[in-house]
Every structure is written in C-alpha cells, then in structure tokens.
Chain A
C-alpha cells in the first residue's frame, strides 16, 4: 500500500496527476455527500416532527404537514453549514423545546429513563438467581424406607410423576 501511494505521489506525468486529482476530488465529494446523507438520516431519526403526529421527523408523512418539510430543510441547512451533530440538535432544542428530541438525553434527570429498565432487569435477575440458589442449598432429605402403599396410592403417585414430567 505504501509503495502504491509513493508511486502515485512520485509520478511526474501531468495527465496522470490531473486524473489523480480529479479522482480524489470526485471521491471526496462522494464521501462528503454520503457523510451528509448518513448524518441527515441519523439526526432525522433523533428528532420528532412537531406537528403533533408523534412520529419521528423522517417518518412523518402527513400530507401538507406544516412542520416536517420546514424542519428537514433546517436540518439540511445545518449540515451544509458544517455544524456538528450536537450543535444541530441544540439549535433544534432551542427552537422547538426539549420534546423535539425523540429520546431522553443522557444527562440530568433524563438519565434515570435509561438506567431504570436495565437496573430493574439486573436486580430481578440477581434476585431470581439468588432465590434459586437458596432453594437449591436447602438440606436434602434422606431417603426413608419404602412405605407399604396401596395400589390406588401408587397410581396417584404415578399420575403425579407423569404430570410433572410432561410438558
């Protein structure tokens, strides 16, 4: 790879150099476009349409929606201006309020929203494992001499065993 790069840099053929520059420019524009498209999709899914439809900005398809087109244009303008993601989101929050973000942020009280489900999951799992271990650790009963059971009692026990081993 290094050899190839050196070869390209060292070439003195003007036509080849021009072609290289053109290729680099095309690739850069392509990557820039792809980057902006990807960021547009990503940020567009981090915001809600404010028309009251309760849909993510890029999924609002209300015919004649007064908000979604305007908001998408603002997003595109922010991206073309070169603002970073956090600045763009911040500008939307300033303009439309906190509810424009499609999920709670990970700061302040909002962090509780994210922590709570996983905390409950962790605590519940730990509790379940602890309970199973506790029950398992109970002393094992020693076998007693086989009782003299009547046929009906044996049938009942067989039935119970069958039930407990079937799905």
Chain B
C-alpha cells in the first residue's frame, strides 16, 4: 500500500502540473486541443489522488504499522469508523484529504465544462495551480506514506481520544469541504477577471459553488462547536481558540460575498468589492490552514508543529501577488453601472452588512494575531482570550442581527417612510414588548453588560422574526387570495416560486435561533461536588442523587461512570450517566458528557475524576439555558440554504375556458384599441 500511495501521489503531482502548464499555454495560444488534454489531465489527477487516499485508508484498515502515519494515528483495537477518520487526524493525512477534496471539486468543474468552456478552462488552470501546491506538500513536506525507521511496532499509538466521537468522523471533512470549496468560486472569479469576462454570468456560475462551500463551512464550524460541547466537557461550545477563529474568518468574508454579490447581479454594483471579497476569502482559507499547521499561534486544536509553515507563506504571497497583478491590469472591466441613491435603501443595507461582517472578520483576525504582534513590538506575549472576543464581537454581532431584519425589507434605490412604517411597525413593537417582558420577568440589563447584550439579542431576534414572519405572511396571503388556498399553502408556494429569497429568509431565521441560543450564555451556572452513594447535589432547580458509581473494561478503553438520578421539585425526571474513559493505546483520558437537553436549558454533567482519598466520583454540573436553540437554528439554516440552492418553480398555469379566452381576447383587443388611440 505505501508504494502504491507514494507512486500515485507523484503521478498526481505530474498530472496537476501538466494540467496547469498545458492549460495556461492553451489559453495563451487559444489551442482547443491542448485545453482538452489539460482538462483530461485534471480528471486523471483526481483518479490518482483518490487511489492514494484509498491506499492510506486501506493501510489503516489493514493495521499496516510500517507506515509511520498509521502507526502514530491508529491501533489494532480502534473501531473501523475511527480507522477511517485517521485519514484526517494528523498533519500528513489531512493534507492528503485537502488534496483529494480539491481534486474532487476540480473534477466536478472539469466535467461540467460545457457550462462555459472558456471560463472553465481558466478556472481549471487556476485550480490546477492550487492542486500543484498541495500535491507538492504531500509529496515533499508532509508525506503520508513515510515508513517507520527500524523495527515495525506490533501496535500503533492509537487515535487521540478526543477524536473518538461519531461527530469527529464527519466534522473535519465538512470543514475541509468548506475551506477547499472556496477555491472554485475563487478560480472562476480570477479567471473571469483574467479574460475580462463580459457580463455577470460568472457570478451565476459561481453562486452555487459559493453557497455549497459556505454551507459546508457553516456545518463544519457548528459540528465542531457541538463536538466541543459534547466531548470536551467544559460546558461551552466556542472558546475563541485560534484554530476556531481561523475557520470563522473565511466564513465571515464568504457570508459578505453571498450578500454583496446580489448587488452585482441586480444593480451591476460593487464589482471590485466582490472580486476582492472572494480573493480575500480564498486567502483567508489558506491562511487559516497555515495558522493550524505552522505553530505561529498556540492552540489545542493545532497539528504538531512542523516546517510546512514557510510553504504556506510563499503560496499566500504568490496568490496575493497574482490577485493584485490581475486586478490592476483588468480593473477597468469592474466599473460599477450604478451608484447608491439613498442611505435608506437595500443597496445601503448590503453595504453596511458587508462593512459589519468585514469589521467582525478584522476583529477576529486582529485578536488572533495580537499576541504575535505584541511579542514583536514589546517583547512580551499576551493572551487574547474569550473576554476580548466577546466584548468586541458581541456589539458588532448585534448590529448585524439588526441589519438582518432591516435589510431585506428595504426597497432597491430608495425606501419611502410609508413603506418603513408598514414593514417595521409591528416587528418594532414586538421587540419592545419582548424587552419589557424580559425586564418584568427578572432580567436586569443594568446590572451587567452581559445581561444587557442578552436582552438586546433576544429583543432583536424578536424584531427579525417579526420582519421575516411578515414577509412570509404577506407573500402567502397574496397567493392564498389568488388561488383560494390556505395561507400556509400560500407560504409554501411563494417559497417554491422564489427559493432564493425565501430560502434566504429561512437562513436568516436560523441565524436568529442561533443568536437566541447565544443569549442564554450569561445565565449559565455550574457547580462541582464529590458524590458518594446517596449523596445529593443541588444545582438550579435540579437535585442530583448519586445512585451508584462503577467501572468497565473494553478492548479499546477502560471506563468509570456514575449513575445519577435527576429530580425537580421532588419528581424524578431522568437518570444520567457521566463517564470518564481511559484509552489504552494512547494512555489518555477523555470525558463522555451526560447531557439532558431541553428547549429551555441543558443539564450537563461531567465526570471529572475520583477523589483519591475517598474513591468517590467528582461531578461537575452545568445548567446552560437555551443552548438547544443553537442546534435547532443550524438545522433551519441548513434547510434554508438547500431551499435557496433549488431552482424556483414557475407560477402555476390555469386552464382557461373558451369563454374566458374570448373575454381575454376581447380585453386585449380593447387594450390595443385604446393604445392605438
């Protein structure tokens, strides 16, 4: 297997290099046959990288510990699914996954070349250039098929226990699909600029690519958050770790791009801005990969420090220089066709939406890199942790939520006062009522800024919900009147007729639910206590009673856990089993959280260990309000994006009777007559 893998990786590099050189030459010479061979070389490159990836997985399945990567990231007793996940659990394997996913995106692009052969030829050459970089890495800097020196060990070191969780089998591929997916719209955008592509067709072509990449990145980020919540056992889902931030940066710019691109499609505006947004997104995706793998910033998620950072620095520099060069040469083709007419218009709202997203992106990047900057300037390193990011990003995020509600309801060009009143009166009243209700219900926003932000988040969420519900209601009512169907049926139909718009609203609604989930954060409570047989712990309105604690031994790990009955107001609600595992191969421990999740709050129990003196388990309990809404919101966001990706249906046509047809003809005749006059 290692020989096959090594050979196919070299072959893939040769094919990608051919696809790049021949593709570029063909575009220069306008040689269609050469273009075709470059395209086919790109397709063959996918086959070669696929064989290499399969070879690595087969080496893991076959316990081939002669391969150093398999020896470091797998062991005999590891379940098959996790052996498969070993493909991306280390530096070398994950870079191979990058290369494979990039080849797969390239494959789809090259198979669908008839959409626009010329533009695809440019994009294909650009993708090939990125492929060459990653294949150089896996061939010469981080080779996944390197062999163990000396005697082959009988068993491997095993997979990091934190990664032995079902979600970890899908979280990294999702995230990588997002990161890598950015390459496709980047390639189309740069290609369009290189060839001075007339019109906005390239925007239509890349829209789906961008949305798919955005969807994967979003799902990847939130799967990571859910994994952190369910596995790491610290009671939270987002720690503003540099690696988490690295995934957020391209997500923010891509979100900005998805909005501002509408301006270009509808009004021929922000062309230069859009070009730079997609360039920046690509560069940030590569920069994020660099952060994760170079050791520039310290992170628990980062791969082992290695010398591949300098490869990324060069690649980012070359990519940036290429973008600047092409932009400077061809920027004349990106002149706006219109200007903004009013501050109160949809164009303005898109502009501010982009501005806020970009400022948020800057704040995250700034905070992530500030320790490096501080060390460089003052010689002393500082920590930039959650308090900084929360204080800076929460107000920016709230402004963005406000724009989420306002933007879609503003008219293009200019919005009248009447229209503002009509669209926003009810949502504003609802938001004010919600804020008052929360204060009456006991929330004290003046006591702490966190409570204030929480109140604002909920009030703004109500406001946005009101505006979105109003849009569905108005649209559904029109259809209901026209076709004599129920309002709900009308809403479904209006969504099917304009999937992009109403799918977008559902995405916004998903974001609102996520924000509601975040709003519960200041009200989290936690408590740690040693619990023997029959001992009780009181947290919030829950009483936990320890029924027993025991241990077990499995081939891959040994474990100990507690059995805790949960009571509320004297009534038994549930029995929970927080657990701690000791993985034999890696000799590492991991917690398995017991979480009782409800819409109002989660009861989250962690088995933190045993008191060595008494032998009793120590349980840490958290009550985290509203967390479930985050995961519900993500599902809605996913559904909304899928709907927005679907093509819209045309309005239904109705059978017209002969009598009606005559009447229509008469009216038409009359209209012509009137017009003739």
Q: Which residues of A contact B (CB under 8 A)?
A: 45-46, 48, 52-56, 59-61, 63-64, 98-105, 108-110, 113-114, 116-118, 120-121, 124-125, 128-129, 131-133, 135-136, 138, 163-167
Contact = CB atoms under 8 A, between A and B. Distances in A.
B502 to A, nearest CB: 9
B229 to A, nearest CB: 12
B362 A54 contact: no
Nearest to B367: A113
A63 B376 CA distance: 34
B234 interface: yes
Interface string B329-368: 0000000000111110000100110011011001100110
A136 B341 contact: yes
Nearest to B344: A132
Given A63-B580, A63-B591, A102-B388, 10 more contacts: A56-B385, A56-B386, A59-B236, A63-B589, A98-B381, A108-B378, A114-B388, A120-B362, A132-B342, A136-B340
Interface of B: 232-236, 239, 241, 262, 265-267, 298-300, 339-343, 348, 351-352, 355-356, 358-359, 362-363, 366-367, 370, 374, 377-378, 380-388, 391-392, 396, 408, 411-413, 498, 500-501, 504, 580, 589, 591, 606, 608-609, 620
Contacts of B387: 45-46, 102-103
B343 A132 contact: yes
5 contacts: A61-B232, A117-B363, A132-B343, A132-B351, A167-B501
A166 B340 CA distance: 17
A167 B262 contact: yes
Nearest to B374: A109
Contacts of A108: 378
Contacts of B232: 61
A136 B411 CA distance: 16
Contact of B233 (A61, A104, A121): A61
B352 A128 contact: yes
A135 B338 CA distance: 10
Nearest to B243: A54
B359 A165 contact: no
Contact of A102 (B266, B341, B383, B589): B383
Contacts of B342: 132, 136
Contacts of A164: 266-267, 412-413
Given A59-B234, A104-B374, A54 B591 contact: no
A98 B382 contact: yes
A117 B366 contact: yes
Given A54-B300, A61-B608, A113 B383 contact: no
B358 A124 contact: yes
Given A128-B355, A135-B339, A136-B343, A167 B386 contact: no
B340 A131 contact: yes
B359 A104 contact: no
Chain A contact residues: helix, strand, loop or mixed: helix
Contacts of B408: 167
A48 B298 CA distance: 13
A129 B408 CA distance: 19
Nearest to B620: A61
A108 B384 CA distance: 15
Contacts of B609: 63-64
A54 B386 CA distance: 10
A120 B606 CA distance: 41
Given A113-B366, A131-B340, A60 B352 contact: no
B359 A59 contact: no
A36 to B, nearest CB: 15
Contacts of B380: 98
B36 to A, nearest CB: 35
B359 A117 contact: yes
Nearest to B393: A117
B491 to A, nearest CB: 16
A118 B392 contact: yes
A117 B362 contact: yes
A96 B367 CA distance: 21
Contact of B234 (A46, A52, A55, A133): A55
A45 B262 CA distance: 42
A110 B374 contact: yes
Contacts of B580: 63
Nearest to A127: B355
Contact of A129 (B343, B358, B591): B343
B299 A54 contact: yes
A54 B608 contact: no
B241 A113 contact: no
A124 B355 contact: yes
A124 B591 CA distance: 45
A118 B367 CA distance: 12
A26 B675 CA distance: 92
A129 B340 CA distance: 11
A114 B390 CA distance: 12
Contacts of B383: 48, 98-104
A120 B365 CA distance: 13
B396 A113 contact: no
A54 B235 contact: no
Nearest to B588: A63
Q: Which 8 pairs between the two chains have the least Cβ-Cβ distance? A: A102-B385, A117-B363, A135-B339, A103-B388, A103-B387, A167-B501, A59-B234, A121-B359
Contact of A104 (B235, B339, B340, B384): B384
B378 A109 contact: yes
Nearest to A100: B383
Contact of A165 (B265, B340, B384, B412): B412
Nearest to B589: A63
A113 B385 CA distance: 12
Given A113-B370, A124-B358, A138 B235 contact: no
B382 A101 contact: yes
A104 B412 contact: no
Nearest to B580: A63
A43 B88 CA distance: 38
B608 A63 contact: yes
A156 B398 CA distance: 41
A70 B391 CA distance: 28
Nearest to B593: A61
Nearest to B388: A103
A160 to B, nearest CB: 10
A165 B408 CA distance: 12
A55 B386 CA distance: 9
